Amino acid sequence: MDTKNFLTKIDDEELLKEAFTHRSFLNESRDKIPSNERLEFLGDAVLEILVSEYLFHRFPLYPEGKLTLLRSSIVRTETLAKAAQLQSLGKYLHMSRGEEEHGGRTNESILANTYEAVVGALYLNKGLETVKSFLEATLFPRFEEIIDTKSYRDAKSHLQEVVQEQMKITPTYKVLHEEGPDHQKKFTVGVYVGEKLIGEGKGKNKQAAESAAAEVALKSFVV
């Protein structure tokens, strides 16, 4: 079942428009429809409970720690953005011309937020069962890839385990460089063991840059 079918289930036109209204659009529109940030907030909470329930039943032998890692891997920005891209959610967005010119329709953060907003709108309009069907069609299938590739293992946590086990010290992170305008900021972060730089990474936010730096460090870390 494709996303278009799910969107037609939302019979509240204002709620549907709100789900696809980026905050940048408010400055160029006379409509009083709010941005999708409140729906995003709600959708985030609904996602957490439904993903948790799915994992609880899908993996009855997994301990809490592994279930937490799996949940984090499926609700993180990159995964939600990929699900949104596969469902072409970006083409439905209302945003400012400037945001669109700067690639807003393919921006991972905006797409992930929109996915959460759609979840919030579906929940308000049709309830948990419809949201669950939406997730089963658009998000839950990605668990197979996540498990096969072991991408649920957070790079920062993995690096910390390795460094602490071998060197009895915790790695630290430092922003080395920032560039670009506020809406398209890029960060370069370094990860250190003591005073030694063991990896650098770039990302659209500090968290993404830290994760990239940890991945680099894991490939080259030698004691």
Give the total number of structural domains in the chain: 2
| 182 is an active site residue | no
Considering the domain architecture, whether residues 183 and 133 belong to the same structural domain is answered as: no
The CATH number for 209's domain is 3.30.160.20
3: pLDDT strictly greater than 60: no
Mean pLDDT of 25-50: 91
Other beta carbons within 10 Å of 173: 19
Show the 3-state SS of 159-203. Answer: HHHHHHHHHCCCCEEEEEEEECCHHHCEEEEEEEECCEEEEEEEE
Residues 110 and 7 in one domain: yes
Same domain assignment for residues 171 and 190: yes
Based on the fold, state whether residues 139 and 173 are members of the same structural domain. Answer: no
Residue ranges making up the domain that contains 36: 3-149
More confident residue, 68 or 39: 39
Q: Residues 37, 44, 78, 154: which is the catalytic one?
A: 44
Active-site residue, from 18, 40, 108, 116: 116
Q: Are residues 133 and 193 in the same domain?
A: no
What is the structure's pLDDT at 51? 97
Residues 199-204 have a mean pLDDT of 90
- 41 and 137 in a single domain? The answer is yes
Looking at per-residue pLDDT, the higher value among 58 and 221 belongs to: 58
Same domain, 29 and 117: yes
Is the pLDDT reported for residue 221 higher than 70? no
Same domain as 160, residue 133: no
116 a catalytic residue: yes
